[in-house]
Amino acid sequence: MKDKENEKTARKLSAVGNDGGDYESSLRSLKRAENEKIQKTLFSVPSNFNKLEAARENLMRKSEEVSGLKIEGYDFDKGVNYDEIIKSFASSGFQASHFSRAIEITNKMIKESAFIFLGYTSNMVSSGNREVIRYLVKQKKVDVLVTTCGGIEEDIMKCLGDFFLGSFRANGSELRRRGINRIGNIFVANNRYVEFEKFCQKVLEEIYRENKVVTPSEIIWGLGKKINDEKSICYWAWKNKIRIFCPAIQDGALGDNIYFFKFKREDFVVDIAEDIVNLNNTTIGLKKSGVIILGAGVVKHAILNANMLRNGADYAVYINTTPEYDGSDSGAMPEEAVSWGKIKGEEESVKVFGDATILFPLLVGESFAKIRKA
């Protein structure tokens, strides 16, 4: 069998001009010849084929004309006009146009006297957005707040001491040695947590003496009442009787304080079930419901789930940076919420991919700070 293969190869070598040179060199020549033959077979075109015409036909094909809003940014030759810059976002494309739509939807919520749910993650309170949220609660611009545990405790902590700008690239081991906690590029001395514990334990004791079973929202009002500081979101929520719901109240320093307090008062009970009832009941019978959600996670789901009980919110604005590829509710687009009955329709909802520390103050400046509810 091998002799036949060698004979066959020898004939091929002869065909490509082997004149008795070394066998390996001739074999390589044979392989090159075979490859060239394959290439010619695969890529050969008819002699009358016009390559230029084919290229032009594919690239220069006729199309339909497009109508609608022309893409155009702000013209700084007209000077600096911040109102006009914001207006130009509508025709800028990308997330600028989505943000313009968010302003439009928010203004519609306000003009139609929608009941407005504001959800925000704790980092919004870590940052300067705390003051923006405080303004909305003080001025009764929103009706219900939903946040995480950090959104409560850090609001109170900022009344006890300041947070400071740091660096995203600070050395974690060095910060730990110094007792400094890092939230992104914000530094928080651990003394704030020590001070918060002293304050919180006193408040929990006062609450316990009045009622051994309380809801998270009642604890939050208690903290706001006791802090008695007009810089505080919780203070204005208590004063204006605006509920702050915290579905994950145990997940943070406030949860730690409840844990410590339970060692002293074992019969102290935090009734999260009653707050589920309270939150869900706020949606029942509303003529119009609007949601604004900064960030994602539990606050986003809690608000949308409550609105599902009324067959969806009428208006929705999301601002976050979370993608939807993993199927989480955090990254889900408004149209997914429509499929669940959490939002009524896609026409009055938008998700803006962006940093809420930049976008939310602009949104408030172009809506709540300009117009009042009807």
Q: Which residues contact 61 (CB under 8 A, 6 or more apart)?
A: none
Catalytically annotated residue among 342, 344, 370, 373: 342
Q: Which of 199, 120, 117 is nearest to 158 (CA)?
A: 199
The residues, any chain, with a CB within 8 Å of residue 55's CB and separated by 6 or more, are none
Q: Return d(Cα 136, Cα 236) in angstroms, integer.
A: 9
Which of 356, 318, 343, 135 lies closest to 242 in space, CA to CA? 135
Please say whether the beta carbons of 129 and 184 come within 8 A. no
Q: What gap in Å lies between CA 179 and CA 191, rounded to an integer?
A: 8
Q: How far apart are CA 301 and CA 116, in angstroms?
A: 16
State the burial class of residue 229 (Cβ atoms within 10 Å of its Cβ: 0-12, 13-18, 19+). Answer: middle
Neighbours of 155 (CB within 10 A): 28
Q: How far apart are CA 245 and CA 249, in angstroms?
A: 9
- For residue 66, the 8-state DSSP code is P
- Report helix, strand or coil for 275: helix
Give yes or no for a contact between 196 and 172, defined as CB atoms under 8 angstroms apart. no
Length of the chain: 374
Single-letter code of the amino acid located at 183: I
Q: Is 226 a catalytic residue?
A: no
Question: In whole angstroms, what is the distance from residue 239 CA to residue 250 CA?
Answer: 24
What does the alpha-carbon distance between residue 277 and residue 263 come to, in Å, rounded to a whole number? 28
Whole-angstrom distance, CA of residue 90 vs CA of residue 75: 14
Active centre residues (catalytic)? 342
